[in-house]
């Protein structure tokens, strides 16, 4: 194996013996980007809705209510909730059974209806939610296998565009955690380029945006 490593590196060095000049990148990293006529949170809500995810704006006091409504609308009974989810976000309602993730296997997760999480960041211009799979979000399989994902995003977690998101993730030290950037429900255009939603991954994405 080390034979291959040394040989490849030697080939690279030989290939570059014309010593091409290494360019500077003509770019200023981490800059905010305009969100047009709307403020970032409004832009975020608009762009998430563009992907045919359901968006609800609410206040801190009413999160649990909105979450309950979202789950009911999706017909979800068994809901897995990450251990670190704020307690006052937990839904309460007839027919909703909260399940803890204590080593649920893939097949167990398949029998779960929905997952409820927080988020790390929201990107306004692209309608993206970034998960770093911390305590309020749970490991990656949780937001992948169940068919319904209800995600709570706080207004102060919304940044303008990708450069700010990449910068903020590094500031938070979250950039080397496992990350999932979600921009709408799963989709494919592989058949005649006709976009179809919902292949693998949650087919229903409901985003609750919390202001104040």
Partner 1 sequence: MRTPSGSPTAARHVGVTADFLGMPSFPDAAREALGDTVQRRNLAHATGVIRGKRAKVVGELENWEELRLAAEAIKNRTLFQLDEHLVAFEAAATAAGVTVHWARDAEEANRIVVGLVRETGAEEVVKIKSMATQEIELNEALEAAGIDAWETDLAELIVQLGDDWPSHILVPAIHRNRSEVREIFLRRMGDVGRPAPEGLTDEPRQLAEAARLHLREKFLRAKVAVSGANFAVAETGSLVVVESEGNGRMCLTLPETLISVVGIEKIVPTWSDLEVMLQVLPRSSTGERENPYTSVWTGTTEGDGPQDLHVVLLDNGRTSVLADEVGRAALRCIRCSACLNVCPVYERAGGHAYGSVYPGPIGAVLTPQLRGTTSEVDKSLPFASSLCGACYDVCPVRIDIPSMLVHLRTRVVDEKRGGVPSAEQAAMKTASWVMGSHKRLANAERGAGVVGRALRRRGTTTLGSIPLPGLGAWTGARDAPVPPEESFRQWWERTDGGRSDDVDGTVDGTEGKR
- In angstroms, rounded to a whole number, what is the distance separating the alpha carbons of residues 186 and 182? 9
According to the binding rule CB under 8 A, does residue 66 interact with partner 1?
no
Residues 100-139 touching partner 1, rule: CB under 8 A, are: 106-107, 110, 123, 125-128, 133, 139
Q: Which range binds partner 1 by CB under 8 A, 67-75, 83-91, 111-119, 199-207?
A: 199-207
Check residue 103 and report its DSSP letter.
S
Q: Report d(CA 18, CA 46) in Å as an integer.
A: 51
Rounded Cα–Cα distance for residues 163 and 183 (Å): 16
63 vs 104, which CB is nearer to partner 1? 104
Instruction: Quote the distance between the C-alpha of residue 176 and its chain's center.
Output: 15
Interface segment toward partner 1; rule CB under 8 A; list 23-31, 58-66, 82-90, 114-122: 23-31
Nearer to partner 1, 58 or 126 (CB): 126
Shortest separation between residue 5's beta carbon and partner 1, angstroms: 4
**C-alpha–C-alpha distance, residues 159 and 175, integer Å:** 16
Residue in 14, 88, 94, 212 binding partner 1, rule: CB under 8 A: 14
């Amino acid at each position: 194996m080390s034979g291959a490593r040394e040989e490849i590196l030697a080939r690279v060095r030989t290939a570059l013996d014309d010593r091409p000049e290494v360019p500077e990148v003509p770019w200023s990293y981490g800059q905010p980007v305009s969100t047009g006529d709307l403020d970032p949170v409004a832009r975020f809500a608009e762009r998430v809705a563009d992907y045919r995810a359901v968006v609800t704006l609410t206040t801190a006091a009413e999160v649990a209510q909105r979450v309950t409504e979202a789950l009911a609308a999706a017909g979800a009974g068994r809901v897995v909730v990450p251990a670190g989810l704020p307690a006052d976000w937990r839904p309460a309602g007839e027919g909703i059974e909260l399940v803890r993730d204590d080593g649920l296997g893939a097949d167990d997760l398949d029998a779960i209806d929905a997952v409820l999480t927080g988020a790390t960041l929201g990107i306004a211009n692209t309608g993206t939610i970034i998960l770093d799979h911390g305590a309020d979000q749970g490991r990656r399989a949780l937001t992948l296998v169940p068919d319904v994902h209800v995600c709570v995003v706080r207004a102060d977690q919304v940044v303008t565009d990708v450069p700010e998101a990449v910068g903020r993730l590094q500031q938070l030290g979250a950039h080397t955690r496992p990350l999932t950037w979600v921009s709408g429900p799963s989709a494919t255009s592989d058949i005649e380029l006709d976009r179809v939603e919902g292949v693998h991954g949650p087919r229903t994405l409901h985003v609750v945006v919390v202001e104040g």
